């Protein structure tokens, strides 16, 4: 079933379906009219020029592949980059779009490979990491986090 609006699914990879999309489809059994599969890439240059900032590919049936490029001196701002997608025929209304972010919660296994104290330190560091919603400057009232538990 398709519902009105735009869904932006953030993914670390651009060669696979985002986990948040799969979870949303599995649990809610709906897709938005427009689905943006969005990937942010940090390049090996300090600053990416505006004309090379964004790539948009129309995949068909309301799906788009969006790649946002930033330099290592720049702070990624996904909403601002999506506003720059207008020349590619992609008009995104940030006030009505929903941003889906995947979250992984690390859970120690019965026999952790890293050992007890290393596993504890690793899970603590992961819990204290900045959330993707804040890092990518996503509007807080437009973000949905769908998560999984990963045993380490």
Contact between 14 and 40 (Cβ < 8 Å) = no
Structure tokens at 42: 């940090």
Within the chain, strands assigned E span: 2-11, 31-42, 54-60, 63-70, 98-107, 143-151
For residue 105, pLDDT beyond 90: no
pLDDT, the chain, mean? 91
- For residue 122 the two structure tokens come to 């690793």
Q: Where are the domains positioned within the chain?
A: 2-151
Task: Determine the length of the chain.
Answer: 152
CA within 13 Å, CB half, 122:
15
Model confidence over 1-33: pLDDT tens digits?
899 999 999 998 888 889 899 999 999 999 999
Q: Could you tell me the pTM of the whole model?
A: 0.86
- In this prediction, residue 150 has a pLDDT band, given cuts at 50, 70 and 90, of confident
pLDDT of residue 131: 87
Q: What is the DSSP letter of 24?
A: H
Q: How far apart are CA 35 and CA 43, in angstroms?
A: 25
Do the Cβ atoms of 99 and 139 come closer than 8 Å? Answer: yes
pLDDT band at 144 (very low <50, low <70, confident <90, very high): very high
pLDDT in tens, 55-93: 999 999 999 999 999 999 999 999 999 999 999 889 999
Q: pLDDT band for position 126 (50/70/90)? A: confident
Among all chains, which residue has been given the structure tokens 């964004």?
54
Cβ atoms of residues 102 and 18 within 8 Å: yes
């Amino acid at each position: 079933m398709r519902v009105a609006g735009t869904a932006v699914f953030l993914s670390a990879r651009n060669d696979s379906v985002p986990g948040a999309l799969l979870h949303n489809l599995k649990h809610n059994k709906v897709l938005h009219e427009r689905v943006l599969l969005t990937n942010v890439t940090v390049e090996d240059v300090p600053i990416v020029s505006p004309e090379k900032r964004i790539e948009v590919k129309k995949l068909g049936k309301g799906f788009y592949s969006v790649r946002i490029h930033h330099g290592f001196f720049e702070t990624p701002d996904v909403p601002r980059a999506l506003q720059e997608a207008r020349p590619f025929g992609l008009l995104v209304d940030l006030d009505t779009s929903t941003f889906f972010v995947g979250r992984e919660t690390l859970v120690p296994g019965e026999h952790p490979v890293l050992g007890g104290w290393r596993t504890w330190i690793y899970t603590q560091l992961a819990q204290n990491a900045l959330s993707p919603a804040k890092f990518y400057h996503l509007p807080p009232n437009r973000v949905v986090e769908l998560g999984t538990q990963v045993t380490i």
